[in-house]
Amino acid sequence: MSTIRLDGMSKGFGNGRGIERLDITVDDGEFFVLLGPSGCGKTTALRCIAGLEEPDGGRILLGDRVVADAGRGLFVPPDKRDIGMVFQSYALWPHMTVNDNVAYPLRARRVGREAVGRAVVGALDRVGLAGYGERYPAELSGGQQQRVALARALAASPRLILFDEPLSNLDAQLRARLRQDLHLVHRETRHTAVYVTHDQTEALALADRVAIMKEGRIEQIGSPDAVFRAPRTRFVAEFVGYENRLAARVLSVDGDRAAVALPGVSAPLIARRTGPLEGGRTADLLIRASRIGLAAEPAAGRAEGQPGGSSNGLPVRVEDVSFLGDHHQFRLRTADDAILTANIPAERCTPGLLGAVGATLRAILPADDLVALDAAA
Amino acid sequence: MAPAPFHDDHHARSAWSWLRRRRRRLWPLPLFAGLALLLVWPAAMLAIGVFRTAPPGMPGGWSVEPLLALPGSTKLWSAAAHSVLLALLSTAVAVVAAAGFAFLAQRTDLRLRRLVTPTMVVIYATPSLFHGIGFSLLGNPAIGFANAALRAAFGPEAGLVNVESGPGLLAVIAIRATAFTYLLLAPAFLALDRAHEDASLVSGVGRFGTVLRIDLPLLTPALSGAAILAFVAGLHSFDIPLILGQAAGIEVLSTAIYDRLVHAYPPQYATASALSLLLVLVAAALSLLQARVLGRRSFVTVAGKATRQHRLRLGRWGLAGNAAILAFVLVAVIGPLLSLLLGSVQSVPGVLDSFTLVHYQRVFQRPGMIDAVRTTALLAVGVGALAMTLAVLLAQAGQALPVPARSALRLMTLIPFAMPGIVTALAVMWAYVGVPGLRQIYGTVWMLVLALVVVALPFAMQAAQAASAQIAPELTAAARVSGASAPRALLDVVGRLIAPSFLTGWFLVAIAVAGNLDVPLLLGTPTLGTVASHIYQLQTQGQLGDATALLVTTMAGLFAAGLSGLGALRLLAVKRRRPALGTPRVPRSSTLERQAA
């Protein structure tokens, strides 16, 4: 059993930053991602789990074992916690070969010579670096170095592996490849993992569950799907890629649907509610740029940008269009002077749409993709 | 960078156009020529001097006899043994102590850690003459203040500290070497990537094992490089063995050279030159080794981004760490300083019951004293400026030159590192006294300038390299594409950005020049002395009170100069920061303004 429990854990740095009473439970074999902007406390939380930082308050349990209890002054140092960790800077020891780097945790656990050799070969094989054992870290590329770091973390088969932004020093292509590899390795070994990142794509691809952190607290916790489809605060919504926000007034609420009024728009819009919302309150309407459709104004028939689009829309003036490869990005201004960004797939962009700079079109905001949040959330 | 073939049938016009065409590639030539004259020529003449039968500038023949006689001299063997032993032991002590202090200062949360670097800088910058006389006043068996205090506390039989002995000499040299080594090691300790240690800890290896298996191997290049430099510095030490070793009858190589030149009659120039050459060759070989060792250091910086540095909490061990720092400050700085201050106001050194300013009055009435002060000030300021300018040019040229030329430059600048002051003085004598037309500068202040620039160059180059390394090449490149010529860009961008470091380096060099004893002792004349040579003369004449008073006045003067310089720097910094508010951090280069005009 390798569960993790943070029990009201706090850690301050005296500069206002830190963690306040964090409660997290990670199940055995679960891949848990801490997602947040820099300075939100996610790395501090991870280092507390590793034992590289000592919490000021609360408890940490790995399995049934209490490894930190600020109240009792109990603190188990990192070398006694049986964990593996992958660092942002790889942290490969430059004076050791790849073999020695990977063997290090095994030798620390006093594993026999032959078993070390087998485990090293196995771990290098698993990360696709068989035959690289005699090289020095400086002789490897960045991606290879990070694979070695992963092999080192896996080598002693710890039940818990911690990842501190392991992919952030790599270029985009490599990041995608290694992300897939990490996912595969986790499916094979089923270790418990805590993974810290500021990249929402990584969180989506890897997490069984994701916690979004802000200023030392957890904003929202849940499956990636739940967090990405139903953000419950404006911070979470913007962090997971809802680029557009409009201020609106709530007219009525019916189940998870809410009717809202935008200033300067006659017909009410229908939006999806992800948290408590009451009629008469001000709401933030949030939508991803990729979910906005564009149609001729007035909406006489079917929308052009959105097959089967409803008339859930508002008039916008096209200010600019730029080509971004597989889609065009439209900069739109509403009657209320708010700016919307819409990404329309290239194959749906008619010449009429592309030539519409300066013209007024209708932006279609599908009710399912339009999230309404109480403005105070 | 060999000059292209140059045929006689080319008349002046085409030669000129050839030069103009090659100007871009030939710009380092004046620099190389200057360095050859300043560094290579004296070193070569020193080597030739080994085989001359006459003193520099005198007609004479050739002989290998002095060289052949060298191995037969038991006195020289013992001097060499002392030198090597002193250098080895002081290096061993210094590396261990400096590593300890670097760890305490850079990696722990000790309260007194902020004291360490300033203390080391002060010790490093203080001329060794100060330590020689200061420690002699502190630990002299008869009149030392430490012994007086011990006797007062524990009775007349209390343990005698004797600094004028082998161990005493070693201790004083080791203190200076510790400061020097610390300043080399501290950046390496600071640069240790905490993630490397963390990775070891989470792998299951404890704190101690991590230090042994991760930290020490990572620091090996820095440690061995620093050890080699400390060893060379130990071989070169002159003032301290001269002042503390003579009483104990301990001769080292550098003092043996001095002895052959000044106390032997007739002066044994060839023997002294042979010994000098030996010192230079050993030091050069070690410096090359050190360059190789440090050159491989790149393998330390494999990591991508460094993680935040967290300081180690020492807990119970904190007390011991703080005590070690405090003890070092007391022994290495406060002890000799207090001894000097006290010694200068006692009628008889070591007697603590009188107070007099007579030394301060008397010393400035000494014949030639005012001239010496003026000469010293001029030398300190002038040589400081010269050496720093040269060093900045070298550092910049080092970045811009193609690889073979850069190696040649590195090899040439190795010479001042390998030559101790006494050897430099001798080499300069060989180089310039022997040349008709240049002979007139013997006995003038220019001779001192030539030797002191060489002596000061290592200090200056260290300061200039540190300063230049902070300036990204893009900054100069940006000035060039904005239309500034290479010298203009150097002045506008590099010059202004490194002005603070330049002034600091200038000051450090000025201190080193003011405190240098070897050069004025050998190249000075009865009428051409510096403050340092007067201090030494007073000390050897037994007028310790006067010597101390002069030393204290000199240190106070340097301190005042440093303080006012610091004030000027602050003003400069404030002025520079103001326009940076709200605008990108670009030096206020006139290039852009000129472009706009």
Q: Hey, is the C-beta of B208 within 8 angstroms of any chain A C-beta?
A: no
Residue A259 and residue A159 share a domain: no
Q: Hey, is the C-beta of A95 within 8 angstroms of any chain B C-beta?
A: yes
Looking at chain B, which residue has its C-alpha nearest residue A151?
A: B203
Report the side by side order of strands in the sheet with A160-164.
Answer: A83-86, A160-164, A192-197, A31-35, A209-214, A217-222
**A198 chain-B contacts, CB cut-off 8 A:** none
Residue A345 and residue A197 share a domain: no
Report pLDDT for A26: 96
Q: Please give the Cα distance from B17 to B30 (Å, whole number).
A: 18
Contacts (Cβ under 8 Å, ≥6 apart) of B576: B588
pLDDT greater than 80 at residue B354 = no
pLDDT greater than 60 at residue B298 = no
Between chains, do B198 and A87 touch, taking CB under 8 Å as contact? yes
3-state SS class at B142: coil
Instruction: Suggest the residue from B194, B202, B215, B223 to mutate for an interface test with chain A (most A CBs closer than 10 A).
Output: B202
**A91 chain-B contacts, CB cut-off 8 A:** 193, 195-196, 198-199, 303
**A90 chain-B contacts, CB cut-off 8 A:** 302-304
Report pLDDT for B589: 34
Q: Please give the Cα distance from B515 to B533 (Å, whole number).
A: 9
Quick check: is B238 in a domain?
yes
Report pLDDT for B575: 58
Q: Give me the phi and psi of A42, to 5 degrees please.
A: -65, -40
Q: Quick check: bond before B473 cis, omega within 30?
A: no
Q: Please give the Cα distance from B4 to A372 (Å, whole number).
A: 79
Looking at chain B, which residue has its C-alpha nearest residue A110?
A: B204
Residue B377 and residue B340 share a domain: no
Q: Please give the Cα distance from A198 to A163 (Å, whole number).
A: 12
Between chains, do A77 and B204 touch, taking CB under 8 Å as contact? no
Calculate the alpha carbon distances from B226 to A43, A242, B231, B290, B462 in Å: 36, 56, 9, 8, 14
Of residues B85 and B195, the one with the higher pLDDT is B85
Instruction: Please name the residue that has the structure tokens 């343990």.
Output: B159
How many CB atoms are located within 10 Å of the residue B356 CB? 13
Residue A180 and residue A53 share a domain: yes
Q: Which long-range contacts (CB under 8 A, 24 or more apart) does B256-263 make?
A: B256/B75, B256/B76, B256/B79, B257/B422, B257/B423, B257/B426, B258/B422, B258/B518, B258/B521, B258/B522, B261/B426, B261/B522, B262/B521, B262/B522
Between chains, do B207 and A77 touch, taking CB under 8 Å as contact? yes
Quick check: is B288 in a domain?
no
Between chains, do A89 and B195 touch, taking CB under 8 Å as contact? yes
Answer positive or negative: Cα dihedral of B568, B570, B572, B575.
negative
- Burial (CB count <10 Å: 0-12, 13-18, 19+), residue B122: middle
Distance from CA of B103 to the nearest CA of A (A): 19
Residue B391 and residue B344 share a domain: no
Looking at chain B, which residue has its C-alpha nearest residue A52?
A: B198
Contacts (Cβ under 8 Å, ≥6 apart) of B158: B147, B150, B151
Residue A46 and residue A189 share a domain: yes
Token code pair at residue B457: 């160059």
Report pLDDT for B526: 84
**A136 chain-B contacts, CB cut-off 8 A:** 299
Pick the last residue of a domain from A189, A207, A236.
Answer: A236
Pairing relationship of beta strands A360-364 and A313-323 according to DSSP bridges = antiparallel
Report pLDDT for B352: 67
- At A266, which CATH number? 2.40.50.100
3-state SS class at A256: coil
Residue A314 and residue A169 share a domain: no
Residue A24 host element (H or E):
strand A18-26
Query: How do residues B130-183 score in pLDDT, each as one tens digit?
Result: 999 999 988 888 778 888 888 878 877 766 788 888 899 999 999 999 999 998
Calculate the alpha carbon distances from A110 to A103, A116, B202, B571 in Å: 11, 9, 15, 61
**What percentage of residues in chain B have a pLDDT greater than 70?**
86
How many CB atoms are located within 10 Å of the residue A296 CB? 17
Q: Tell me A241's DSSP state.
A: T
Residue A181 and residue A65 share a domain: yes
Q: Hey, is the C-beta of B355 within 8 angstroms of any chain A C-beta?
A: no
Residue B430 and residue B402 share a domain: yes
Residue A242 and residue A186 share a domain: no
Q: Vertex A322, ends A317 and A324: CA angle to 5°?
A: 135
| Domain span including residue B385 | 28-50+366-590
Contacts (Cβ under 8 Å, ≥6 apart) of B456: B383, B384, B387, B509, B512, B513
Q: Please state the three-class secondary structure of B153-199 as a single string.
A: HHCCCCCCCCCCCHHHHHHHHHHHHHHHHHHHHHHHHHHCCHHHHHH
Residue A277 and residue A227 share a domain: no
Provide the domain count of chain B: 2
Between chains, do A87 and B299 touch, taking CB under 8 Å as contact? no
Q: Please give the Cα distance from A65 to A80 (Å, whole number).
A: 11
Pick the last residue of a domain from B358, B382, B411.
Answer: B358
Q: Please give the Cα distance from B280 to B421 (Å, whole number).
A: 11
Q: Tell me B5's DSSP state.
A: P
Q: Please state the three-class secondary structure of A160-222 as a single string.
A: EEEEECCCCCCCHHHHHHHHHHHHHHHHHHCCEEEEEECCHHHHHHHCCEEEEEECCEEEEEE
Q: Please give the Cα distance from A325 to B13 (Å, whole number).
A: 61
Band (pLDDT 50/70/90 cuts) for residue B438 is confident
Q: Hey, is the C-beta of A52 within 8 angstroms of any chain B C-beta?
A: yes
3-state SS class at B530: coil
Residue B421 and residue B326 share a domain: no
The most distant pair of C-alpha atoms in chain B lies apart, rounded to whole Å, by: 91
Contacts (Cβ under 8 Å, ≥6 apart) of A216: A17, A18, A19, A20, A22, A40, A41
Distance from CA of A229 to the nearest CA of B (A): 34
Quick check: is B70 in a domain?
no
Distance from CA of B95 to the nearest CA of A (A): 21
Between chains, do B200 and A162 touch, taking CB under 8 Å as contact? no
Residue B243 and residue B214 share a domain: yes
Of residues A232 and B348, the one with the higher pLDDT is A232
**A145 chain-B contacts, CB cut-off 8 A:** 302
Band (pLDDT 50/70/90 cuts) for residue B424 is very high
| Domain span including residue A206 | 4-236
Across chain B, mean pLDDT equals: 83
Distance from CA of B215 to the nearest CA of A (A): 10
B275 and B73 Cβ atoms separated by less than 8 Å? no
Residue A266 and residue A128 share a domain: no
Q: Which of A369, A310, A375 is nearest to A343 (CA)?
A: A369
Q: Which of B137, B512, B555, B147 is nearest to B338 (CA)?
A: B137
A93 and A149 Cβ atoms separated by less than 8 Å? no
pLDDT greater than 80 at residue B217 = yes
- At B147, which CATH number? 1.10.3720.10
Instruction: Suggest the residue from A67, A83, A93, A165 to mutate for an interface test with chain B (most B CBs closer than 10 A).
Output: A93
Residue B218 and residue B98 share a domain: yes
Looking at chain B, which residue has its C-alpha nearest residue A157?
A: B203
Pick from A78, A81, A89: CB nearest B304: A89
Calculate the alpha carbon distances from B38 to A293, B351, B424, B427 in Å: 78, 48, 11, 11
Residue A114 and residue A255 share a domain: no
Report pLDDT for B23: 60
Provide the domain count of chain A: 2
**B301 chain-A contacts, CB cut-off 8 A:** 94
Instruction: Suggest the residue from A13, A47, A52 to mutate for an interface test with chain B (most B CBs closer than 10 A).
Output: A52
Mean pLDDT by 10 residues, chain A (377 residues): 90 80 94 93 92 91 93 90 90 89 92 93 92 90 92 91 91 89 91 94 93 94 94 93 93 92 87 90 93 76 42 89 92 92 90 86 92 87
Query: How do residues B460-481 score in pLDDT, each as one tens digit?
Result: 988 887 777 767 667 777 777 7
Q: Please give the Cα distance from B572 to A345 (Å, whole number).
A: 57
How many CB atoms are located within 10 Å of the residue B310 CB? 15
Quick check: is B119 in a domain?
yes
Size of interface A-B (CB pairs under 8 A): 96
Calculate the alpha carbon distances from A109 to A92, A148, A151, A157, B501 in Å: 19, 19, 16, 11, 50
Report the DSSP beta bridge partners of residue B467: none
Pick the last residue of a domain from B326, B358, B390.
Answer: B358
**What percentage of residues in chain B have a pLDDT greater than 90?**
39
Pick from A78, A88, A90: CB nearest B202: A78
pLDDT greater than 80 at residue B10 = no
For chain B, what is the radius of gyration of the CA atoms?
26
Residue B416 and residue B564 share a domain: yes
Q: What is the mean pLDDT of residues B341-350?
A: 82
3-state SS class at A112: coil
Distance from CA of B161 to the nearest CA of A (A): 45
Quick check: is B295 in a domain?
no
Q: Hey, is the C-beta of A183 within 8 angstroms of any chain B C-beta?
A: no
- Burial (CB count <10 Å: 0-12, 13-18, 19+), residue A326: exposed
Report pLDDT for A299: 46
Pick from B202, B302, B305: CB nearest A50: B202
Pick the last residue of a domain from A205, A236, A267.
Answer: A236
Distance from CA of B310 to the nearest CA of A (A): 9
Which residues between 292 and 311 in chain B have a beta carbon less than 8 angstroms from any beta carbon of chain A?
Answer: 299-307, 310
Calculate the alpha carbon distances from B234 to B169, B184, B435 in Å: 11, 15, 33
**B207 chain-A contacts, CB cut-off 8 A:** 77
Token code pair at residue A352: 């009429």
Residue B221 and residue B350 share a domain: yes
Pick from B196, B202, B217: CB nearest A85: B202
Distance from CA of A90 to the nearest CA of B (A): 7
**B199 chain-A contacts, CB cut-off 8 A:** 85, 87, 91-93, 149, 152
- Which bin fits A91, alpha (ψ -120 to 50), beta or left (φ > 0)? left
Residue B146 and residue B41 share a domain: no
Token code pair at residue B532: 């340092």
Q: Hey, is the C-beta of B312 within 8 angstroms of any chain A C-beta?
A: no
Residue B269 host element (H or E):
helix B269-295
Instruction: Suggest the residue from A81, A89, A107, A169 to mutate for an interface test with chain B (most B CBs closer than 10 A).
Output: A89
How many CB atoms are located within 10 Å of the residue B412 CB? 18
What would the DSSP string read from start to end of B297-329?
A: GGGG---SSPPPP-PBP-TTHHHHHHHHHHHHH
Residue B217 host element (H or E):
helix B216-236
Residue B352 and residue B238 share a domain: yes
Report pLDDT for A298: 62
Quick check: is B374 in a domain?
yes
- Alpha-carbon B500 to chain mean position: 19
Residue A247 and residue A231 share a domain: no
- At A37, which CATH number? 3.40.50.300
Pick from B206, B217, B299: CB nearest A79: B206
Q: Hey, is the C-beta of B216 within 8 angstroms of any chain A C-beta?
A: no
**A85 chain-B contacts, CB cut-off 8 A:** 198-199, 202
Show the DSSP H helices in B51-164 as ranges: 65-69, 74-107, 113-125, 128-139, 145-154
Contacts (Cβ under 8 Å, ≥6 apart) of A121: A130, A133
Query: How do residues B502-551 score in pLDDT, each as one tens digit?
Result: 888 899 899 999 999 999 999 988 889 999 999 999 998 888 889 999 99
What would the DSSP string read from start to end of B548-590?
A: HHHHHHHHHHHHHHHHHHHHHHHHHHHHHHHHHTTS-S----H
Residue A197 and residue A246 share a domain: no
Show the DSSP H helices in B364-485 as ranges: 369-400, 403-418, 421-433, 445-469, 473-481
Token code pair at residue B563: 């303080």
Pick from B193, B205, B307: CB nearest A79: B205
Q: Tell me B525's DSSP state.
A: B
Between chains, do A152 and B200 touch, taking CB under 8 Å as contact? no
Residue B370 and residue B342 share a domain: no
Q: Hey, is the C-beta of B315 within 8 angstroms of any chain A C-beta?
A: no
Query: How do residues B185-215 score in pLDDT, each as one tens digit?
Result: 888 888 788 888 889 999 999 888 988 899 8
Residue B506 and residue B481 share a domain: yes
Pick the last residue of a domain from B335, B358, B381.
Answer: B358
Between chains, do B195 and A88 touch, taking CB under 8 Å as contact? yes
Q: Hey, is the C-beta of B316 within 8 angstroms of any chain A C-beta?
A: no
